Structure 1
Amino acid sequence: MRNRYSNPLAQRYAGEEMSYLFSDDYKFKKWRSCWIALAEGQKELGLNILEEQVAELKSQEKNLNFEVMAEKEKELRHDVMAALLAYGEQCPLAKPIIHLGATSCFVTDNTELIQYYEALKLVRTLLINLIKAVSDFAGKYKSLQCLGYTHFQPAQPTTLGKRGALWLQELAINLEDLDYLLANYRIRGIKGATGTQDSFLKLFSGDHQKVKHLNNLVCEKLGFSRSFPVTGQTYPRLWDARIMDILKNMSLSAHKFGVDFRLMQHLKMVDEPFGSKQVGSSAMAYKKNPMRCERICSLARYVMSQGEAADHTAANQWLERSLDDSAGRRLYMPQAFLGVDALLTIYRNVIEGMKVYPIIIKKLLDSELPFLATETIIMEGVKKGGDRQLLHEAIRQRAVETAEEIKELGRENRLLEKLGEDERLPFSLEELQKIAYKGDFSGRAEKQVEEYLAEYIESLLAEHSELLGAGREMKL
């Protein structure tokens, strides 16, 4: 519909699979799955629930009557009761036993935790494939020397692949954190109105073991082996904040990449993928802007900002529960997942389709090499019997002169020529050029990349080989 607001995250950026996980269709079907699991478990533990009632619930599990739910919610102003009664209209035999002993958070919290779990698994697949793409980039350019930058000022050289390894390491850390969360994941289970399980204890005539067994049964039927040992009415909203930390840190890592790429594209070292009919500017026809990385940064900032909302919700969840968590969580939890789905996809699109310009990279490096080589020149001069302090002062004077000429007069870098003419240095111009242009100033950068890929990344990718190749195309 074009006459009402639609969420750009779902419409423009996120994939269909992630969007579906947070759809009404998925949510209400999962609510019904929760009610079925509860009824089945109660029947198995001896409550007076008929097989026919459970069968009826299952027969209508996926046959959602949205119009009935919407009408009832207008009347009741309670979404769970509206969905329950709408389900009951379709299941007249089972209606008396739906939601027996449960509170609203039985369906809402368990469903949300299932949504987040499935969404985290989808994020994990995207992340692993991104790790593969960045690993390929790091390996491909491990030996391509480039100018290093600190404070965005020229610094000691590195390699383009080593820069990629820095991005890669952050993604690997993101995966470690995500895997720890998934390995310790849990749902709410059956806890009752304030978390005491009092209603279930009464249903089972004071049998504590049956209540515990029911909790475990319901969790198993929903696909989980663990639940929170204790809750209030809701599961701890700290868990949401913990999930958001994972998403926030992935966004942070993607933002770092996006900024780095934008800086490199400004230097003409690289270009984003650019379609043959793509338009960079409606005014300036020559423009090729890093719009994909700008989008990564924009989405990442949004996701990172939502982490604070989750923190405030967790901090302000009064006693056993307050409902001021509800409206916010409907917004920031799904949208954070949609945002991460989008930015990981765009990140991979850029890293796999980018263009690298080795000639420009070498030109940038060569323009600064005379300055970068000065420490080596001092060391070589000392080897020839020179005085380290005198050599340092001579080079400092000539370097300051040269820098001023470059900045104020627009001249080329003539530092080596100046040093070759300086009688205080025991080198000819040819010797200085050999030191500057035939040397390798990137240290162990290439070897560091090789070692990191071999010792960490190759085994990680081999362990998850069944997930490689998955993913989706960018929407826009």
Structure 2
Amino acid sequence: MSDPHQTYENPLISRYASRAMASVWGAQRKFSTWRRLWIALAEAEAELGLPITTAQLDELRAKADDIDFEAAAAYEAKLRHDVMAHVHTYGDVCPAAKPIIHLGATSNFVVDNADLVLVRESLELVAQRLAAVIDALGAFIATHRALPTLGFTHLQPAQPTTVGKRATLWCYDLVLDLAEVEHRLASLRARSVKGTTGTQASFLELFAGDHAKVRELERRVAAKIGFDASYAVTGQTYPRKVDAQVLDCLAGVAASAHKATTDLRILAMRKEIEEPFEPHQIGSSAMPYKRNPMRSERIGGLARFVMSLAQNGAATHATQWMERTLDDSANRRLSLPQAFLGVDAILVIYENVARGLVAYPQVIARNLAAELPFMITENVLMEAVKAGGDRQELHERIRQHSQAAGAVVKQQGGANDLLDRLRGDKAFAAVDLDQIADPAQLVGRAPEQVDEFLAEVVEPIRQRYANRQAEQEALRV
């Protein structure tokens, strides 16, 4: 036996993605699906009058999961054709049914329909993982709905918001991603039985020119593999536009995770919010004090990889000449599974991060206080004018005080003393500076927006996916 440590292993499988997603794209699942497609085809052909016996169908069903992968590899080495290798491997264990396996079909009957089944299952898993991260972020958002924090635009201090409101931005990106995943699922169709160039000529021949039976065959095969419709027209393959749309969707999920965890890395640098850090976790081999945001960094790295795969879908779709070319095959074997594995890994880590986020309110308050005096100057100006002051004179006084306070901060490394300067200026004696400088009065409707977001956006997703999980558990019993 060869030593597995001597050859490269894809870290998406060995290190990052879940077993659930990895098994969807494993050889057993793929080729068992091929066999179920051959069974569905044979069943539908028998139902519509072709001479296929019950004994042949029973034989096919009995061996659906009993795959001799070594025999298939030997056939492929000889035939240089993966589909025919598996036709022969299946036929060897189903001798009675061997003559009718793949009857009327082209290779892409099994290749494309199986891929659509796997894409559907993978999208369903991605949707569940998105819902789980949305739920986890929702809990963090609720906890910190009203905790004031310094806002940033252009990565420069800006009007205060709340920690919970900021996290709604991360969460809402995922809500939009979930809607797109659900749309892709709702739009997914079967290829079903379209024939070699999409004309269904072979099936029309099998059914002696009966167009109605060919259409019914297509409907029945699609239904047997869980689709209520087929793509209206195809060449030899289902439209590769579908792959491009799916990869774009997955890239969108990756981009959302990248954005949020980049924010978290910046906030960790400011010591305001940190991802979970385990008791024995080592942040740096050289610097023992380090608490590096390893999970967020991993998400960023995986996200860039997934985003890059979107190019493959567009390029492959663009180069499918006429009814098809085969240069899609090798690319799709890499881009489709790895995009799903990458997004799966991202969301598994993201949920872990979201459920373990730690906020440090005192640091957040301190950082806000350092910038707050500058941000309330307009409010101070308005209140002083209301008290009878001259707007232009007051503006100049505030400008001078602000410049002086800024010089203390930047040139001397001191604290922002603008409020003390304003308190010492008689022109602002009538202004309640403490009330104006209360951070809770400066966050607008942020807490209320959080409440509305949780009730109107997050909670329906929680309920919908809790119900789905309950339904799936009931089916397993």
Matched, 1:30 2:38: no
For residue 275 of structure 2, the aligned residue among 251, 272, 294 is 272
Paired position in structure 2 for 1:386: 389
Instruction: Tell me by how many angstroms 1:293 deviates.
Output: 0.4
SS at match of 2:152: strand
Paired position in structure 2 for 1:168: 171
> Matched residues in 1 for 2:298 and 2:153: separation?
25
For residue 217 of structure 1, the aligned residue among 220, 230, 242 is 220
> Matched residues in 2 for 1:64 and 1:439: separation?
65
Paired position in structure 2 for 1:201: 204
Misfit runs of 4+, over 3 Å:
467-470
Structure 2 CA distance for partners of 1:452 and 1:193, relative to 1, 3 Å: same
Paired position in structure 2 for 1:105: 108
Matched, 1:445 2:442: no
The within-5 A match list for 1:32-47 is 32-47=35-50
SS at match of 1:251: helix
Instruction: Tell me by how many angstroms 1:465 deviates.
Output: 1.9
* TM-score, structure 1 normalization: 0.96
Instruction: Tell me by how many angstroms 1:268 deviates.
Output: 0.1
Aligned residue type for 2:281? Q
> Matched residues in 1 for 2:294 and 2:394: separation?
48
Paired position in structure 2 for 1:368: 371
The within-5 A match list for 1:150-161 is 150-161=153-164
Structure 2 spans left out of the alignment, 5+ residues = 472-477
Instruction: Tell me by how many angstroms 1:38 deviates.
Output: 0.6
The answer to whether the 8 A contact 1:233-1:321 is kept is yes
The within-5 A match list for 1:111-150 is 111-150=114-153
> Matched residues in 2 for 1:370 and 1:427: separation?
16
Structure 2 CA distance for partners of 1:120 and 1:391, relative to 1, 3 Å: same
> Matched residues in 2 for 1:223 and 1:328: separation?
26
Matched, 1:457 2:464: no
Matched, 1:84 2:84: no
Instruction: Tell me by how many angstroms 1:438 deviates.
Output: 6.5
Paired position in structure 1 for 2:308: 305
Aligned residue type for 1:4? T
> Matched residues in 2 for 1:47 and 1:93: separation?
16
Paired position in structure 2 for 1:65: 68
Aligned residue type for 1:79? D
Instruction: Tell me by how many angstroms 1:469 deviates.
Output: 9.7
> Matched residues in 1 for 2:180 and 2:214: separation?
33
The answer to whether the 8 A contact 1:129-1:467 is kept is no
Equivalent residue pairs, number: 469
Instruction: Tell me by how many angstroms 1:451 deviates.
Output: 1.3
SS at match of 2:393: helix
Instruction: Tell me by how many angstroms 1:464 deviates.
Output: 2.5
Instruction: Tell me by how many angstroms 1:94 deviates.
Output: 1.0
> Matched residues in 2 for 1:323 and 1:392: separation?
71
* TM-score, structure 2 normalization: 0.96
SS at match of 1:2: helix
The answer to whether the 8 A contact 2:148-2:439 is kept is no
Structure 2 CA distance for partners of 1:234 and 1:9, relative to 1, 3 Å: same
Aligned residue type for 1:299? L
For residue 356 of structure 2, the aligned residue among 342, 353, 357 is 353
> Matched residues in 2 for 1:216 and 1:431: separation?
75
> Matched residues in 1 for 2:228 and 2:435: separation?
66
Paired position in structure 1 for 2:325: 322
Q: Deviations over 1:5-58 (max 9, x none)?
A: 111011111000100000001001000001111111111111111111111111
Range with bigger deviation, 384-393 or 93-102: 384-393
Percent identical residues:
49
SS at match of 2:159: strand
Matched, 1:395 2:398: yes
Paired position in structure 1 for 2:429: 427
